[in-house]
Amino acid sequence: MVLMSPQIGVRPGGRSARVQQAVHDAVRELLAERERDELTVPLIAARAGVTPSTVYRRWGQLPDLYADVAVERLRPDTSPADLGSLEAELDTWAVQYLEEMASGPGRRMIADVLAGGLDNPRRCLCSTYSGDQIQVMLDRAVARGDDVPDRDTVLDRVVAPIVYRILFTDPAPEPGYATRLVADLLAVSPAKAGPPPERADRR
Amino acid sequence: MVLMSPQIGVRPGGRSARVQQAVHDAVRELLAERERDELTVPLIAARAGVTPSTVYRRWGQLPDLYADVAVERLRPDTSPADLGSLEAELDTWAVQYLEEMASGPGRRMIADVLAGGLDNPRRCLCSTYSGDQIQVMLDRAVARGDDVPDRDTVLDRVVAPIVYRILFTDPAPEPGYATRLVADLLAVSPAKAGPPPERADRR
DNA sequence: CATCTTAAAGCGAAGCCTTTGCGTTTAGCG
DNA sequence: CGCTAAACGCAAAGGCTTCGCTTTAAGATG
């Protein structure tokens, strides 16, 4: 088994692109209509109209193919809305992020990306996507004249706890958890100093 | 494929326990001496002196077996040392935790646990183990009369960012990252209020 | 202590997945 | 327009995976 980095150096147009699109579509369709345990490479290949050996050569094992499809679906399609304040935007984004990731499909996508192995660079795209979204909001806040935390701090204080809870605890966190993380982060960041308010409702 | 929760309701003694021990040992031995891609269920079963069907019945797929073995190795074997102050203990523990988890074997163990699927309760043991270790340090600090954050806050502010960085960024974080997280957490927690010091070295 | 019950392991065969080599197609390029 | 090499289709060999049935032994019961 040789290490491969599919989709990195793939030819952009023509047959290769068509095959990739067809296989991705086949995976999404079959994941929607059948149990995950019933999917096999030959089944996906048949739906996509290619031979199994093509899939094996380009993606290797099934988990790698899932990881590729998952990253594709994880890419955000819209920029966060301009709501006038950083806290409102971060809160809205974090709540939506939590709800999407804590859902069944979201959890499976995260697991798929990680199941692809820690040696493939695809998993880094997840934090890049989130970081880029956060940067948009931070830039807007700076343009308003606010004093804001930096991008990595938001990743540490908001995104990381959400993902950690989704991956390693039961039950999955609720939307209020994201709101609390954002509030705690911004409570001491700029002007307002002081210890965070005591909370009795932490799980 | 039926959902199974191996090792949960396993009979504590006798043949079942012997088989489990033998299979676990076989996995560890083979992982140490051969490439991961070369391992197969029949190979592991032969080393353990059992038939492949036994492994398939109890653990299902290879990733599930890896997840089971990984959780076993993730269990901490010692309590954190008493160093006289919470910050010293948390810092020492967090640095060691980061180094272990960011290493090749540590990363693979985390990935293995998650690859076992998000429906199995085993993954929660990871946060339980960490939380228990943290609780020991917090209890000691409380006994000293300190005002300390609660267990979940430490998980959010220290453990979650470390794990998130290991899973989703390259390169892996360095030990100083753990130290910074602990310092930032304790900087505003008890008496000392105010914004965290500005840092130019955040990646 | 003897007997019973049942979960778990062994065994073997059938089926499907996975791999691999080779010929063919086709995209990218001078 | 022709060339080169990457990518795909095809087919066969090999090995993994599953499944029904049998056997074993741990734990319960009287």
Residue spans of the domains in chain A: they are 15-60, 74-188
The pLDDT of B186-201, averaged and rounded, is 52
User: What's the gap in Å between the CA of B79 and the closest CA on chain A?
Assistant: 21
User: What's the gap in Å between the CA of B167 and the closest CA on chain A?
Assistant: 7
Q: What per-residue confidence (pLDDT) applies to A196?
A: 45
Q: What per-residue confidence (pLDDT) applies to B189?
A: 53
Q: Confidence class of residue B122 from pLDDT cuts 50, 70 and 90?
A: confident
A114, A169, A190 member nearest B114 (Cβ): A114
For residues B1 and B95, which has the higher predicted lDDT (pLDDT)? B95
Half-sphere exposure of B148 toward its Cβ, with a 13 Å CA cutoff?
23
Chain B: residue whose CA lies nearest to A170 = B124
Q: Can you tell me the distance from the alpha carbon of A7 to that of A196, in angstroms, rounded to the nearest whole number? A: 45
For residues A201 and B113, which has the higher predicted lDDT (pLDDT)? B113
Q: What per-residue confidence (pLDDT) applies to A121?
A: 82
The pLDDT of A35-49, averaged and rounded, is 96
Q: Confidence class of residue B13 from pLDDT cuts 50, 70 and 90?
A: low
Inform me whether the C-beta atom of residue A107 falls under 8 Å from chain B C-beta atoms: yes
CB-CB neighbours of A63 under 10 Å: 18
Q: By percentage, how much of chain A surpasses pLDDT 70?
A: 86
Window 161-190 of B, Cβ < 8 Å to A: 161, 163-165, 167-170, 181, 188-190
Structure tokens at A80: 């966060």
CA of B15 and C1' of D29: distance in angstroms? 22
The pLDDT of A14-24, averaged and rounded, is 92
Q: Can you tell me the distance from the alpha carbon of A104 to that of A67, in angstroms, rounded to the nearest whole number? A: 16
pLDDT of residue A86 exceeding 90 = yes
- The answer to whether B52 CB sits below 7 Å from nucleic acid chain D is yes
Structure tokens at A167: 């991956």
Q: Confidence class of residue B7 from pLDDT cuts 50, 70 and 90?
A: very low
Among all chains, which residue has been given the structure tokens 């990739």?
A20
B112, B70 in Cβ contact below 8 A? yes
Q: Could you please report the per-residue DSSP string of B125-162?
A: HHHHHHHHHHHHHHHHHHHTT-----HHHHIIIIIHHH
Q: Confidence class of residue A12 from pLDDT cuts 50, 70 and 90?
A: low
- A15-60 belongs to CATH 3.90.1170.50: no
Contacts of B197 in chain A (CB under 8 A): none
Contact criterion met (CB < 8 Å) for A160 and B165: yes
For residues B116 and A61, which has the higher predicted lDDT (pLDDT)? A61
Report which of B59, B155, B66 is spatially closest to residue A117, judged by C-alpha positions: B66
The pLDDT of B81-97, averaged and rounded, is 97
Q: What per-residue confidence (pLDDT) applies to A14?
A: 76
User: What's the gap in Å between the CA of B103 and the closest CA on chain A?
Assistant: 11
Contact criterion met (CB < 8 Å) for B188 and A196: yes
pLDDT of residue A189 exceeding 70 = no
Chain A: residue whose CA lies nearest to B129 = A168
pLDDT single digits (tens) B39-69: 999 999 999 999 999 999 999 999 999 999 9
Q: What per-residue confidence (pLDDT) applies to B10?
A: 53
How many A/B residue pairs have CB atoms within 8 Å?
108
Contact criterion met (CB < 8 Å) for B202 and A159: no
Window 75-94 of B, Cβ < 8 Å to A: none
Q: Can you tell me the distance from the alpha carbon of B93 to that of A182, in angstroms, rounded to the nearest whole number? A: 27
As a whole number, the mean pLDDT across chain A is: 88
Chain B: residue whose CA lies nearest to A112 = B115
Q: What per-residue confidence (pLDDT) applies to A22?
A: 97
Mean pLDDT lowest among A180-189, B47-56, B132-141: A180-189
Among all chains, which residue has been given the structure tokens 């939590």?
A98
User: What's the gap in Å between the CA of A188 and the closest CA on chain B?
Assistant: 5
A83 three-state secondary structure: coil
Q: What per-residue confidence (pLDDT) applies to A119?
A: 80
pLDDT of residue A201 exceeding 60 = no
For residues A201 and A152, which has the higher predicted lDDT (pLDDT)? A152
Instruction: Please state which of the four CATH numbers 2.30.30.30, 1.10.357.10, 3.30.43.10, 3.40.50.1100 is assigned to the domain occupying A74-188.
Output: 1.10.357.10
Q: Confidence class of residue A13 from pLDDT cuts 50, 70 and 90?
A: low
Contact criterion met (CB < 8 Å) for A126 and B168: yes
As a whole number, the mean pLDDT across chain B is: 87
Mutate to test the interface with B, among A164, A174, A182, A184 (most CBs of B within 10 A): A164
Closest residue, by C-alpha, to the C1' of C27? A14
Q: What per-residue confidence (pLDDT) applies to B83?
A: 96
Mean pLDDT lowest among A52-56, A121-125, B100-104: A121-125
pLDDT of residue A100 exceeding 90 = yes
Q: By percentage, how much of chain A surpasses pLDDT 90?
A: 76
Contacts of B187 in chain A (CB under 8 A): none
